[in-house]
Amino acid sequence: MAETARPIVIRVNGTEHSLGAERSRSLLSVLRTELGLTGTKYGCGSGECGACTVLLDGQPVRACTTPVSHADGRSVTTIEGLEGKGGSLHPVQQAFLDVQAFQCGYCTPGMIMEAVALLRKDPNPTALTIREKMAGHLCRCGTYSRIVRAIQAAAAKMRK
């Protein structure tokens, strides 16, 4: 008789979940199908494009290549978890809107999550630092200069 694996327990956006998912399943798959959090996007499936970026204990990871077992006992923040008081947008989300840093928006959740992690670590990044940190994110619409401006604007707002 096969032994039942213990559930995977993860805290997602502040809510604890006990999941019976296969330990090798991708975190992305579990977030989207088990928890219904579809803001995190599937892009390339190999961790190259950054569309699936979430924060695992505050650090950006590619959810498409991260086994859900790596999140066991840890905290995950998705784009849905950035919502502020009363449903307000996170300063990075608002800056992306204000600067029109996206066109189709598909890559935007992953870029925002990467930017949030960057600004937590470095509240006053240079344009070069922003470009280096965002280099692993692909935008098919090519709005890179506006993305840098949005992150700079969010950084300025968050420092106030």
16-29: pLDDT as tens digits: 999 998 999 999 99
CB-CB contact of 82 with 93 (8 Å): yes
Residue with more model confidence, 31 or 86: 31
Q: What is the pTM of this model?
A: 0.93
What pLDDT digit, counting tens, does each position of 38-85 carry?
999 999 999 999 999 999 999 999 999 999 999 999 999 999 999 888
Nearest-angstrom CA–CA distance, 69 and 139: 29
Q: Mean pLDDT across the chain, nearest whole number?
A: 94
Domain assignments of the chain as residue spans, ordered by start: 8-81, 83-159
Q: Which residues pair with 123 in a beta bridge?
A: none
Interatomic CA distance for residues 116 and 82, integer angstroms: 9
How many angstroms separate the CA atoms of 75 and 52, rounded?
Answer: 16
Helices (H) and strands (E) in the chain, counts: 5, 5
Query: Over the stretch 120-149, which tens digit does the pLDDT of each residue have?
Result: 999 999 999 999 999 999 999 999 999 999
CATH of domain 8-81: 3.10.20.30
DSSP annotation of 136: T
The CATH classification number of 83-159 equals: 1.10.150.120
Distance CA 160, CA 147 (A): 20
Q: How many residues does the chain have?
A: 160
- 3 falls in which pLDDT band (50, 70, 90)? very low
